Amino acid sequence: METTVQKKRILSGIQPSGNLTLGSYLGAIKNWAALADEYDCYYMMADMHTITVRQVPADLRRNTLTQLAAYIASGLDPEKNVLFVQSHVPAHAQLGWVLDCYTMFGELSRMTQFKDKSAKNADNINAGLFTYPALMAGDILLYQADLVPVGGDQKQHVEICRDIANRFNGIYGETFKIPEPYIPKVGARVMSLTSPENKMSKSDKDPNGCVYMLEKPEDIMRKFKKAVTDSEACVRYDIANKPGVSNLMQIYAVSTGKTFEEIEAEFAGRGYGDFKKAVGESVVEMLRPIREETERLLADKAYLETIYRSGAERASRVADRTVSKVYKKVGFLAR
Ligand code: TRP
Protein backbone atom coordinates (compact mmCIF):
# COMPACT_ATOMS: atom_id res chain seq x y z
CA MET A 1 0.00 0.00 0.00
CA GLU A 2 1.19 3.48 -0.76
CA THR A 3 2.06 5.47 2.31
CA THR A 4 3.37 8.72 0.88
CA VAL A 5 2.17 11.72 2.82
CA GLN A 6 0.59 14.33 0.59
CA LYS A 7 2.75 17.44 0.72
CA LYS A 8 1.03 20.75 1.22
CA ARG A 9 0.71 22.72 -1.98
CA ILE A 10 1.98 26.22 -2.63
CA LEU A 11 1.11 28.56 -5.46
CA SER A 12 2.43 32.00 -6.19
CA GLY A 13 3.19 34.26 -9.10
CA ILE A 14 4.70 37.52 -10.18
CA GLN A 15 3.54 39.67 -13.04
CA PRO A 16 6.09 39.96 -15.87
CA SER A 17 5.28 43.66 -16.08
CA GLY A 18 8.88 44.84 -16.17
CA ASN A 19 12.25 43.93 -14.77
CA LEU A 20 12.31 41.98 -11.52
CA THR A 21 13.42 44.10 -8.60
CA LEU A 22 15.73 43.41 -5.68
CA GLY A 23 12.50 43.50 -3.67
CA SER A 24 10.95 40.64 -5.69
CA TYR A 25 14.13 38.63 -5.18
CA LEU A 26 14.61 39.17 -1.44
CA GLY A 27 10.92 39.33 -0.61
CA ALA A 28 9.76 36.40 -2.73
CA ILE A 29 11.87 34.36 -5.15
CA LYS A 30 14.82 33.75 -2.80
CA ASN A 31 12.47 32.30 -0.18
CA TRP A 32 10.56 30.16 -2.65
CA ALA A 33 13.68 28.19 -3.52
CA ALA A 34 13.90 26.95 0.07
CA LEU A 35 10.36 25.51 0.04
CA ALA A 36 10.77 22.94 -2.72
CA ASP A 37 11.50 19.92 -0.54
CA GLU A 38 8.79 20.48 2.00
CA TYR A 39 5.99 21.55 -0.34
CA ASP A 40 4.54 20.84 -3.75
CA CYS A 41 5.25 24.18 -5.43
CA TYR A 42 3.71 25.95 -8.42
CA TYR A 43 5.06 29.31 -9.56
CA MET A 44 3.79 31.21 -12.53
CA MET A 45 4.50 34.21 -14.67
CA ALA A 46 1.15 35.98 -14.22
CA ASP A 47 1.00 37.39 -17.75
CA MET A 48 -2.81 37.45 -17.89
CA HIS A 49 -2.79 39.84 -14.95
CA THR A 50 -0.18 41.99 -16.65
CA ILE A 51 -2.43 43.02 -19.54
CA THR A 52 -4.83 44.77 -17.15
CA VAL A 53 -2.37 47.62 -17.74
CA ARG A 54 -1.41 48.34 -21.36
CA GLN A 55 1.83 46.59 -22.40
CA VAL A 56 4.16 46.65 -25.38
CA PRO A 57 3.67 43.08 -26.71
CA ALA A 58 7.34 42.40 -27.49
CA ASP A 59 8.33 43.61 -24.03
CA LEU A 60 5.77 41.39 -22.34
CA ARG A 61 7.09 38.35 -24.24
CA ARG A 62 10.68 39.19 -23.36
CA ASN A 63 9.89 39.91 -19.72
CA THR A 64 7.99 36.63 -19.38
CA LEU A 65 10.91 34.58 -20.67
CA THR A 66 13.44 36.58 -18.65
CA GLN A 67 11.38 36.02 -15.52
CA LEU A 68 11.40 32.28 -16.10
CA ALA A 69 15.17 32.31 -16.60
CA ALA A 70 15.60 34.42 -13.44
CA TYR A 71 13.42 32.01 -11.43
CA ILE A 72 15.65 29.12 -12.45
CA ALA A 73 18.86 31.12 -11.94
CA SER A 74 17.66 32.02 -8.44
CA GLY A 75 17.57 28.35 -7.50
CA LEU A 76 14.03 27.29 -8.40
CA ASP A 77 14.74 23.81 -9.70
CA PRO A 78 12.33 23.21 -12.61
CA GLU A 79 12.07 19.53 -11.73
CA LYS A 80 11.09 20.12 -8.13
CA ASN A 81 8.92 23.16 -8.82
CA VAL A 82 6.29 23.55 -11.51
CA LEU A 83 7.26 26.72 -13.37
CA PHE A 84 4.71 27.88 -15.90
CA VAL A 85 3.22 30.75 -17.84
CA GLN A 86 -0.35 31.55 -16.80
CA SER A 87 -1.64 32.06 -20.35
CA HIS A 88 -0.32 28.60 -21.32
CA VAL A 89 -2.87 27.00 -19.01
CA PRO A 90 -6.37 27.77 -20.35
CA ALA A 91 -7.94 26.68 -17.06
CA HIS A 92 -7.04 30.11 -15.60
CA ALA A 93 -9.31 31.89 -18.07
CA GLN A 94 -11.98 29.20 -17.68
CA LEU A 95 -12.18 29.34 -13.91
CA GLY A 96 -11.67 33.11 -13.90
CA TRP A 97 -14.92 33.59 -15.81
CA VAL A 98 -16.91 31.29 -13.56
CA LEU A 99 -15.58 33.04 -10.45
CA ASP A 100 -16.48 36.43 -11.92
CA CYS A 101 -20.06 35.26 -11.51
CA TYR A 102 -19.51 34.51 -7.81
CA THR A 103 -17.71 37.74 -6.98
CA MET A 104 -19.65 40.82 -6.00
CA PHE A 105 -19.35 44.29 -7.48
CA GLY A 106 -19.25 45.73 -3.96
CA GLU A 107 -16.36 43.61 -2.76
CA LEU A 108 -14.31 44.33 -5.88
CA SER A 109 -14.94 48.06 -5.41
CA ARG A 110 -13.32 47.91 -1.99
CA MET A 111 -10.00 46.46 -3.16
CA THR A 112 -7.17 48.87 -2.45
CA GLN A 113 -5.09 47.71 -5.42
CA PHE A 114 -7.98 48.52 -7.76
CA LYS A 115 -8.32 51.99 -6.26
CA ASP A 116 -4.56 52.62 -6.54
CA LYS A 117 -4.24 51.28 -10.07
CA SER A 118 -7.29 53.09 -11.38
CA ALA A 119 -5.90 56.32 -9.97
CA LYS A 120 -2.60 55.64 -11.76
CA ASN A 121 -4.22 54.56 -15.04
CA ALA A 122 -7.16 56.92 -15.19
CA ASP A 123 -7.36 56.60 -19.00
CA ASN A 124 -7.65 52.78 -18.89
CA ILE A 125 -9.87 51.64 -16.03
CA ASN A 126 -10.87 48.45 -17.80
CA ALA A 127 -13.08 45.59 -16.62
CA GLY A 128 -10.06 43.30 -16.25
CA LEU A 129 -8.46 45.65 -13.77
CA PHE A 130 -11.68 45.53 -11.79
CA THR A 131 -12.17 41.74 -11.86
CA TYR A 132 -8.45 40.99 -11.37
CA PRO A 133 -9.09 39.53 -7.88
CA ALA A 134 -11.46 36.89 -9.32
CA LEU A 135 -8.81 35.82 -11.85
CA MET A 136 -6.26 35.65 -9.04
CA ALA A 137 -8.66 33.66 -6.86
CA GLY A 138 -8.91 31.20 -9.74
CA ASP A 139 -5.11 30.99 -10.00
CA ILE A 140 -4.98 29.81 -6.42
CA LEU A 141 -8.10 27.64 -6.27
CA LEU A 142 -7.30 25.74 -9.48
CA TYR A 143 -4.37 24.11 -7.69
CA GLN A 144 -6.23 23.56 -4.42
CA ALA A 145 -3.31 25.43 -2.86
CA ASP A 146 -2.87 25.31 0.91
CA LEU A 147 -0.52 28.26 1.09
CA VAL A 148 0.04 31.36 -0.97
CA PRO A 149 3.32 33.18 -0.32
CA VAL A 150 2.63 36.85 -0.88
CA GLY A 151 3.81 40.24 0.28
CA GLY A 152 1.64 42.38 2.51
CA ASP A 153 0.18 44.25 -0.48
CA GLN A 154 -1.41 41.03 -1.79
CA LYS A 155 -2.98 39.82 1.45
CA GLN A 156 -6.29 41.44 0.64
CA HIS A 157 -6.36 39.42 -2.59
CA VAL A 158 -5.87 36.17 -0.71
CA GLU A 159 -8.65 37.18 1.66
CA ILE A 160 -11.13 37.81 -1.16
CA CYS A 161 -10.05 34.49 -2.66
CA ARG A 162 -11.04 32.77 0.59
CA ASP A 163 -14.38 34.61 0.59
CA ILE A 164 -15.10 33.54 -2.99
CA ALA A 165 -14.10 29.94 -2.27
CA ASN A 166 -16.26 29.80 0.86
CA ARG A 167 -19.19 31.26 -1.03
CA PHE A 168 -18.85 28.72 -3.83
CA ASN A 169 -18.39 25.82 -1.40
CA GLY A 170 -21.42 27.06 0.53
CA ILE A 171 -23.62 26.84 -2.56
CA TYR A 172 -22.26 23.67 -4.21
CA GLY A 173 -20.58 21.74 -1.42
CA GLU A 174 -16.87 21.18 -0.84
CA THR A 175 -15.13 22.14 -4.08
CA PHE A 176 -12.15 24.30 -3.22
CA LYS A 177 -9.48 24.05 -0.56
CA ILE A 178 -9.47 27.29 1.45
CA PRO A 179 -5.94 28.76 1.13
CA GLU A 180 -3.94 30.68 3.71
CA PRO A 181 -1.58 33.56 2.97
CA TYR A 182 1.96 32.52 3.80
CA ILE A 183 4.43 35.12 4.95
CA PRO A 184 7.84 33.39 5.03
CA LYS A 185 9.68 33.49 8.38
CA VAL A 186 12.80 34.90 6.84
CA GLY A 187 12.24 37.47 4.22
CA ALA A 188 12.56 41.11 3.77
CA ARG A 189 10.29 43.91 2.86
CA VAL A 190 12.66 45.98 0.79
CA MET A 191 11.92 49.69 0.71
CA SER A 192 12.79 52.33 -1.89
CA LEU A 193 16.37 53.59 -1.62
CA THR A 194 15.28 57.18 -2.13
CA SER A 195 11.94 57.22 -0.27
CA PRO A 196 12.33 54.46 2.33
CA GLU A 197 8.77 54.92 3.64
CA ASN A 198 7.57 53.23 0.43
CA LYS A 199 8.04 49.70 -0.83
CA MET A 200 10.74 49.30 -3.50
CA SER A 201 8.83 49.33 -6.75
CA LYS A 202 9.53 49.54 -10.45
CA SER A 203 6.88 52.27 -10.63
CA ASP A 204 8.89 54.48 -8.24
CA LYS A 205 9.02 57.99 -9.69
CA ASP A 206 12.73 58.23 -8.86
CA PRO A 207 14.66 55.62 -10.91
CA ASN A 208 17.35 55.56 -8.20
CA GLY A 209 14.87 54.19 -5.67
CA CYS A 210 14.65 50.78 -7.27
CA VAL A 211 17.41 48.23 -7.91
CA TYR A 212 16.82 45.47 -10.43
CA MET A 213 17.85 41.86 -10.06
CA LEU A 214 19.66 41.80 -13.37
CA GLU A 215 21.11 45.27 -13.27
CA LYS A 216 24.78 46.01 -14.07
CA PRO A 217 27.08 46.21 -11.00
CA GLU A 218 28.08 49.82 -11.67
CA ASP A 219 24.43 50.90 -11.77
CA ILE A 220 23.68 49.03 -8.55
CA MET A 221 26.66 50.70 -6.84
CA ARG A 222 25.61 54.15 -8.03
CA LYS A 223 22.09 53.68 -6.63
CA PHE A 224 23.35 52.49 -3.25
CA LYS A 225 25.80 55.40 -3.04
CA LYS A 226 22.86 57.77 -3.57
CA ALA A 227 20.59 56.01 -1.06
CA VAL A 228 18.84 58.29 1.41
CA THR A 229 20.07 58.04 5.02
CA ASP A 230 19.78 60.65 7.80
CA SER A 231 21.92 63.18 9.65
CA GLU A 232 22.76 61.08 12.72
CA ALA A 233 25.81 59.41 11.13
CA CYS A 234 25.27 56.19 13.07
CA VAL A 235 24.46 52.74 11.68
CA ARG A 236 21.68 51.67 14.02
CA TYR A 237 18.42 49.81 13.41
CA ASP A 238 15.43 52.05 14.08
CA ILE A 239 12.69 51.84 11.46
CA ALA A 240 10.60 54.71 12.81
CA ASN A 241 13.37 57.29 13.06
CA LYS A 242 15.93 55.94 10.60
CA PRO A 243 13.98 54.28 7.77
CA GLY A 244 16.74 54.70 5.17
CA VAL A 245 19.54 53.24 7.30
CA SER A 246 17.27 50.47 8.63
CA ASN A 247 16.33 49.47 5.09
CA LEU A 248 20.00 49.32 4.08
CA MET A 249 20.74 47.23 7.19
CA GLN A 250 17.92 44.87 6.30
CA ILE A 251 19.30 44.44 2.77
CA TYR A 252 22.85 43.99 4.06
CA ALA A 253 21.65 41.44 6.63
CA VAL A 254 19.96 39.22 4.06
CA SER A 255 22.71 39.52 1.48
CA THR A 256 25.52 38.69 3.95
CA GLY A 257 23.75 36.64 6.63
CA LYS A 258 24.98 39.05 9.32
CA THR A 259 22.82 40.06 12.28
CA PHE A 260 21.90 43.67 13.06
CA GLU A 261 24.25 43.65 16.08
CA GLU A 262 27.13 42.46 13.90
CA ILE A 263 26.37 45.18 11.37
CA GLU A 264 26.17 47.89 14.03
CA ALA A 265 29.52 46.75 15.41
CA GLU A 266 31.11 46.55 11.97
CA PHE A 267 30.25 50.18 11.16
CA ALA A 268 30.60 51.73 14.62
CA GLY A 269 32.44 55.04 14.27
CA ARG A 270 32.50 54.82 10.47
CA GLY A 271 30.60 57.07 8.08
CA TYR A 272 27.60 56.27 5.90
CA GLY A 273 29.86 56.40 2.83
CA ASP A 274 31.61 53.18 3.85
CA PHE A 275 28.36 51.59 4.88
CA LYS A 276 26.51 52.30 1.64
CA LYS A 277 29.47 51.07 -0.39
CA ALA A 278 29.54 47.81 1.60
CA VAL A 279 25.79 47.28 1.15
CA GLY A 280 26.09 47.93 -2.59
CA GLU A 281 28.98 45.50 -2.92
CA SER A 282 27.17 42.77 -0.99
CA VAL A 283 24.15 43.12 -3.29
CA VAL A 284 26.34 43.10 -6.41
CA GLU A 285 28.02 39.88 -5.24
CA MET A 286 24.73 38.25 -4.28
CA LEU A 287 23.17 39.04 -7.66
CA ARG A 288 26.21 38.44 -9.87
CA PRO A 289 25.84 34.64 -10.25
CA ILE A 290 22.09 35.02 -10.77
CA ARG A 291 22.54 37.59 -13.52
CA GLU A 292 25.21 35.50 -15.23
CA GLU A 293 23.10 32.35 -15.06
CA THR A 294 20.01 34.20 -16.29
CA GLU A 295 21.97 35.46 -19.29
CA ARG A 296 23.29 31.98 -19.98
CA LEU A 297 19.78 30.51 -19.83
CA LEU A 298 18.35 33.23 -22.07
CA ALA A 299 20.87 32.25 -24.71
CA ASP A 300 19.39 28.74 -24.65
CA LYS A 301 15.81 29.34 -25.78
CA ALA A 302 15.28 25.68 -26.60
CA TYR A 303 15.93 24.70 -23.00
CA LEU A 304 13.59 27.38 -21.64
CA GLU A 305 10.93 26.16 -24.06
CA THR A 306 11.14 22.62 -22.73
CA ILE A 307 10.76 23.99 -19.20
CA TYR A 308 7.69 26.10 -19.85
CA ARG A 309 6.06 23.42 -21.99
CA SER A 310 6.48 20.79 -19.34
CA GLY A 311 5.41 23.31 -16.68
CA ALA A 312 2.20 24.02 -18.60
CA GLU A 313 1.47 20.30 -18.91
CA ARG A 314 2.07 19.58 -15.26
CA ALA A 315 0.03 22.62 -14.18
CA SER A 316 -2.81 21.76 -16.58
CA ARG A 317 -3.14 18.26 -15.21
CA VAL A 318 -4.06 19.64 -11.81
CA ALA A 319 -5.94 22.72 -13.00
CA ASP A 320 -8.11 20.89 -15.55
CA ARG A 321 -9.37 18.57 -12.85
CA THR A 322 -10.62 21.54 -10.83
CA VAL A 323 -12.27 23.11 -13.88
CA SER A 324 -14.15 19.86 -14.67
CA LYS A 325 -15.39 19.66 -11.12
CA VAL A 326 -16.53 23.29 -11.16
CA TYR A 327 -18.20 23.03 -14.58
CA LYS A 328 -20.18 20.05 -13.39
CA LYS A 329 -21.22 21.75 -10.15
CA VAL A 330 -22.51 24.91 -11.83
CA GLY A 331 -24.55 22.88 -14.29
CA PHE A 332 -22.67 23.05 -17.57
CA LEU A 333 -23.63 20.17 -19.86
CA ALA A 334 -20.78 17.67 -20.13
CA ARG A 335 -19.24 17.62 -23.59
N1 TRP B 1 -1.38 39.81 -8.01
C2 TRP B 1 -0.02 39.41 -7.80
C3 TRP B 1 0.89 40.64 -7.85
O4 TRP B 1 0.58 41.60 -8.51
C5 TRP B 1 0.44 38.40 -8.81
C6 TRP B 1 -0.41 37.19 -8.80
C7 TRP B 1 -1.31 36.81 -9.74
C8 TRP B 1 -0.45 36.20 -7.78
N9 TRP B 1 -1.90 35.64 -9.38
C10 TRP B 1 -1.40 35.24 -8.19
C11 TRP B 1 0.23 36.04 -6.56
C12 TRP B 1 -1.71 34.13 -7.40
C13 TRP B 1 -0.08 34.93 -5.77
C14 TRP B 1 -1.04 33.98 -6.19
O15 TRP B 1 1.92 40.63 -7.22
Per-residue pLDDT of the chain (335 residues; tens, 9 = 90+): 555 678 999 999 999 998 999 999 998 999 999 999 999 999 999 999 999 999 999 999 999 999 999 999 999 999 999 999 999 999 999 999 999 999 999 999 999 999 999 998 899 999 999 999 999 999 999 999 999 999 888 999 999 999 999 999 999 999 999 999 998 655 568 999 999 999 898 888 899 999 999 999 999 999 999 999 999 999 999 999 999 999 999 999 999 999 999 999 999 999 999 999 999 999 999 999 999 999 999 999 999 999 999 999 999 999 999 999 999 999 999 99
Same domain, 39 and 129: yes
Same domain, 97 and 178: yes
Residue 193 lies in a domain: no
Residue 76 lies in a domain: yes
As a whole number of angstroms, the distance between CA 50 and CA 56 comes to 11
Residue 103 lies in a domain: yes
Residue 194 lies in a domain: no
Q: Which of 149, 147, 148 is nearest to 30 (CA)?
A: 149
Q: How far is the CA of 200 from the centre of ligand 1 (A)?
A: 17
Q: How far is the CA of 289 from the centre of ligand 1 (A)?
A: 26
pLDDT score, position 203: 83
Same domain, 105 and 243: no
Same domain, 118 and 218: no
pLDDT score, position 4: 66
Same domain, 289 and 305: no
Q: How far is the CA of 25 from the centre of ligand 1 (A)?
A: 15
Count: domains in the chain: 2
Residue 284 lies in a domain: yes
CATH number at residue 271: 1.10.240.10
Which amino acid, one-letter code, is at 329? Answer: K
9-14 β-sheet, strand order: 81-85, 40-45, 9-14, 147-149, 180-182
Same domain, 65 and 150: yes
Q: Which atom of ligand 1 is nearest to the CA of 149?
A: 13
Same domain, 44 and 175: yes
Same domain, 168 and 233: no
Same domain, 316 and 231: no
CATH number at residue 179: 3.40.50.620
Residue 196 lies in a domain: no
Same domain, 140 and 77: yes
pLDDT score, position 183: 80
DSSP 8-state secondary structure symbol assigned to residue 242: -
Which residues participate in catalysis according to the annotation?
117, 199, 202
Give the residue, out of 71, 84, 89, 150, with the most ligand 1 atoms within 8 A of its beta carbon, to mutate for a pocket test: 150
Nearest CA to ligand 1 atom 3: 14
Q: Which atom of ligand 1 is nearest to the CA of 136?
A: 9
Q: Which atom of ligand 1 is nearest to the CA of 139?
A: 12
pLDDT score, position 65: 98
Same domain, 184 and 259: no
pLDDT score, position 5: 76
Residue 232 lies in a domain: yes
Q: How far is the CA of 259 from the centre of ligand 1 (A)?
A: 31
Same domain, 111 and 162: yes
The residue range of the domain holding 31 is: 9-188+301-330
Q: Which of 299, 12, 280, 4 is nearest to 145 (CA)?
A: 12
Sign of the CA dihedral with 178 first, then 145, 31, and 211 last: negative
Question: What is the 3-state secondary structure of 17-60?
Answer: CCCCEHHHHHHHHHHHHCCCCCCEEEEEECHHHHCCCCCCHHHH
Residue 252 lies in a domain: yes
